[in-house]
Amino acid sequence: MNRINKKLQESQKLLSIYFTAGYPELEDTTTVIERLVESGVDMIEIGLPFSDPLADGPTIQESSTAALKNGMTTAKLFDQIKDIRKSVDIPLIVMGYFNPMLQYGVEKFCATCAEIGIDGLIMPDLPLAEYEEHYQATFEKYGLKMIFLITPQTSDERIRQIDAASDGFIYMVSSASTTGKTSGFSSVQTDYFERIAALKLKNPQIVGFGIKDEETFKAATQTAKGAIIGSAFIKTLTEKGIEGISGFIKSIRP
C-alpha cells in the first residue's frame, strides 16, 4: 500500500509540512526532512523551486529564489534524497510546477521518484483533463499519487470529478489567494470547509494555505483529515534555521 493511503487510515489529524528544497542552504534538504520526522510530522511536501511559482506567496517565492541561486535543480534534489528511505518512513510528496518535470522528462521523473521512494506529486499547473489524457497512466505505472487542489471557487461538479480521479487525498486550498496571506479563518472559509465535508467525498481532504499555529491547525482539521503548513514553516527556517524546527512543530501540535 502507498504510504499516503496507509497514513490516511490512521486515526489522528495529520500534520504535513512544506519546505523548499535547497533552503536555507543547498545541502540542507535531507537534514530538514530528518528533523521534521524526528519532530513527529506525518507527511512532508518537498518543494521543487521554480522561477515562476504562480500559487506561492512571497515567503515561499523568496525561498525558491534563494534555493535556485544556491544551485538547486531537479537532478540535484534527486541526488540529495536518493538514500532518504534509509532513515525516513513517512510519506514524501514532491510539490512543484509541471515545466521542470516536462524538461526533465515525465517518465524519467516518475521513474526516479519511484526509485527513491516518493509517494505522490502535487503539480498545481497540471490540469485534470491533461493529466487524465496524457500522464495518468505513467503516474500509476510508478505508483505515484497525483494530488489535486480545490478552492472555495471550485464547483461541486468539478470537485466530484477531481475526487473520482484521485486516490489519496485532496489538497483543499483554504482561500483563493496565494499562500501565506491569511491571518485566520473567516466565516466564508469555515462555511467552505463544511460544504466540502457535506459532499462526503471518497478521498480525505487536507487543508493548506493560512495554517500557521495551533489555533489555525485545529480550526482547519475540524472537518478535514489534516492540514499543511508552508509559509509559517519557511519563516521559521529563515529566522531560526534548522535548530528552530522542533520548537515550531511542538507549537503547532503540543
Verify whether residue 56 is a known catalytic residue: yes
Verify whether residue 45 is a known catalytic residue: yes
- Residue 204: which of 35, 16, 54, 66 has the closest Cα? 16
Q: Could you tell me the end-to-end alpha-carbon distance of the chain, in angstroms, rounded to an integer?
A: 30
Edge-to-edge, what's the strand order for the sheet holding 92-95?
145-146, 120-122, 92-95, 43-47, 14-20, 226-229, 205-208, 170-173, 149-150
Selected catalytic residue, list 28, 45, 119, 163: 45
Selected catalytic residue, list 28, 42, 56, 163: 56
Return the SS3 of 64: helix
DSSP state of 28: G
| Residue 139 grid cell | 503516474
Sole residue written with cell 525516513: 88
Please report the beta strands in 53-190, taking only residues with DSSP state E, as ranges in sequence order.
92-95, 120-122, 145-146, 149-150, 170-173
Whole-angstrom distance, CA of residue 232 vs CA of residue 217: 12
Whole-angstrom distance, CA of residue 238 vs CA of residue 204: 32
- Report, as residue numbers or ranges, the catalytic residues: 45, 56
